[in-house]
Amino acid sequence: MKIRVIKNNKQIIKEAAMGADQLPDNYYIEISKKSDFITATYRVRDDDDFLGLAGEVSAVSLGNSCMDNVYAVSHAAVTIRGWGPMLYDVVMEALTEDNIALTSDRERVSTDAWNVWEYYLKRRSSELDSVRMDVSRETMANYYGMDEKSWPFTHLTKTEEDDCLQNTSLEWAAGEGDWMSTRSRDRKRAVQLSPRSASKWHEQPTSYAYVFKDKELPITTYLDMNSQIEYT
């Protein structure tokens, strides 16, 4: 998963996380929730689109491939830098209402996206619970083969209930995580050649899922008070 910044002929705002109080009055966020899918999208109410802002963040349920009640970001794109993180927060707040945690794409995370997850882990621990996810057998077999005895490291826990795909975390731990700059085979090779580094996958921000500690949901509440959020 990457945060994709789409250039256009509008003014590009410098990188900085924008807040709900900075969303222009003629914009709103549309939330679409299905049984196993959620999307938050910037919308404009009229043609007076002086900012040129568009973007969305989508997430899907990991279902039986991971822990219960975990969604993974599957797509993130914005036209102007700085407006992506608020969509992440809105998606996470909407999932928190249903006691669901949010995590990164399990196989591909760009540097920009990784920075968002690192910020969640290191700078927002007072607001968020970090849900530990273990490495799955599928992940280990992908890099080290099916024979568990040949694996250079193994699961954190004995139970399989917390096992999840951790390709992204192993590759970032091995130093070659950015899928936009490193080919898939080279990322895989880095994990195979650097098992000591890869074994620290659990220190990566992408190895966790995140959920708000309470359900006050400040961004959603603010936008709702200003008629800047709609549900479909």
pLDDT per residue over 172-188, tens digit each?
999 999 999 999 999 99
CB atoms within 10 A of CB 141: 13
Residue 27 has pLDDT above 50, yes or no: yes
Token representation of residue 223? 């936008």
Residue 102 has pLDDT above 70, yes or no: yes
Among the listed residues 173, 171, 172, the one whose alpha carbon sits nearest the alpha carbon of residue 185: 171
The pLDDT confidence band at residue 16, using thresholds 50, 70 and 90, is low
CA dihedral 79, 82, 87, 92 (to 10 degrees): 150
The pLDDT confidence band at residue 229, using thresholds 50, 70 and 90, is very high
Q: Is 70 helix (H, G, I), strand (E, B) or coil?
A: strand
User: Can you give the pLDDT at residue 17?
Assistant: 84
- Distance separating alpha carbons of residues 86 and 183, to the nearest angstrom: 29
- Distance separating alpha carbons of residues 141 and 158, to the nearest angstrom: 17
Residue 145 phi/psi, 5-degree rounding, is: 95, 170
Among the listed residues 8, 11, 205, the one whose alpha carbon sits nearest the alpha carbon of residue 111: 205
Q: What pTM was estimated for this model as a whole? A: 0.89
Token representation of residue 23? 């969303």
Alpha carbon distance, N-terminus to C-terminus of the chain: 24
Per-residue pLDDT reduced to its tens digit, 209-223:
999 999 889 999 999
User: Can you give the pLDDT at residue 46?
Assistant: 80
Q: Which amino acid, residue 226?
A: N
Average pLDDT, the chain: 91
Residue 21 has pLDDT above 60, yes or no: yes
Average pLDDT over residues 85-96: 96
Q: Is 220 helix (H, G, I), strand (E, B) or coil?
A: helix
Per-residue pLDDT reduced to its tens digit, 41-81:
999 988 777 788 999 999 999 988 898 899 999 999 999 98
Q: Are 41 and 110 in contact (CB under 8 A)?
A: no
Residue 188 phi/psi, 5-degree rounding, is: -65, -40
CA dihedral 57, 58, 64, 67 (to 10 degrees): 20
User: Can you give the pLDDT at residue 219?
Assistant: 95
User: Can you give the pLDDT at residue 4?
Assistant: 43
Token representation of residue 146? 């099916």
* For the chain, percent of residues with pLDDT exceeding 70: 92
